[in-house]
């Protein structure tokens, strides 16, 4: 479980196809504090650490199943050597819940359809997949590339968010461009409300 508050920006330093896809990600996290089997959200995708090391810099390895590749922007050839990814360690009991509850189970991929400055902030508008658009509400929460963000407005499948300078600095969002594909996880609460509504209607 995560909160969507990014705590490091990792960098992909190796990619290898071994049945599943294997990636090595450089990080500034203290490697001695990362156990094998730990969960780390990488651009919003909850992945399991299978190896760690410190040569020539701190890194951890993850394996990515074909199912995960097909449901995320990893499958759109967005991950390559040098690509930077938002990282978040899993929640511990007593941690501050600064964003919203995020599972790391990506629901689909959204496309950035507009990018423009708005004062010192950055306004981004996204096109959500049609089957997920109904779960996104104004002033609700979404996780985009692992970042907990508040939805400003919704127009059909299009929704917008505002990124303050701090968020742009401590995540990869300052590099975002129109046309980019990003991992989208809808708010867990909206998922269960919709399920209850559908069940009641039966």
Tens of pLDDT, residue by residue over 54-67, are: 999 999 999 999 99
Lowest-confidence range among 86-95, 128-137, 164-173, 190-199?
A: 190-199
Backbone angles phi, psi at 103, to 5 degrees: -90, -25
**pLDDT at residue 198 is higher than 80:** no
Domains with residue ranges and CATH for the chain: 8-89 (2.40.30.20), 108-201 (2.40.30.20)
For the segment 192-200, the average pLDDT, to the nearest whole number, is: 67
Are 44 and 102 within 8 A, CB to CB?
yes
pLDDT higher at 175 or 193: 175
How high is the pLDDT of residue 29? 98
What does the mean pLDDT of the chain come to? 92
Question: Which of the four pLDDT bands, split at 50, 70 and 90, describes residue 128?
Answer: very high
Query: Taken in order 60, 37, 16, 2, is the CA torsion positive or negative?
Result: negative
pTM comes to 0.92
- Angle at CA 95, nearest 5°, toward 165 and 149? 35
182 sits in the region (left: phi over 0; alpha: psi -120 to 50; else beta) called: beta
Half-sphere exposure at residue 126, Cβ-oriented, CA atoms within 13 angstroms: 28
């Amino acid at each position: 479980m995560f909160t969507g508050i990014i705590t490091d920006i990792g960098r992909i330093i190796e990619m290898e196809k071994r049945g599943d896809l294997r990636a090595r990600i450089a990080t500034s996290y203290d490697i001695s504090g990362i156990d094998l089997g730990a969960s780390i959200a990488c651009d919003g995708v909850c992945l399991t650490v299978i190896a760690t090391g410190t040569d020539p810099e701190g890194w951890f390895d993850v394996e990515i199943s074909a199912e995960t590749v097909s449901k995320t922007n990893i499958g759109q050839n967005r991950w390559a050597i040098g690509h930077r990814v938002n990282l978040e360690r899993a929640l511990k009991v007593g941690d501050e819940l600064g964003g919203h509850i995020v599972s790391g189970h990506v629901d689909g991929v959204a496309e950035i359809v507009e990018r423009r400055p708005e004062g010192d902030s950055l306004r981004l508008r996204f096109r959500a997949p049609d089957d997920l658009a109904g779960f996104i509400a104004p002033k609700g929460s979404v996780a985009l590339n692992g970042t907990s963000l508040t939805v400003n407005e919704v127009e059909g499948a299009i929704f917008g968010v505002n990124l303050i300078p701090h968020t742009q600095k401590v995540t990869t969002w300052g590099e975002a461009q129109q046309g980019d594909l990003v991992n989208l996880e809808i708010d867990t609460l909206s998922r269960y409300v919709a399920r209850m509504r559908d069940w009641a209607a039966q």
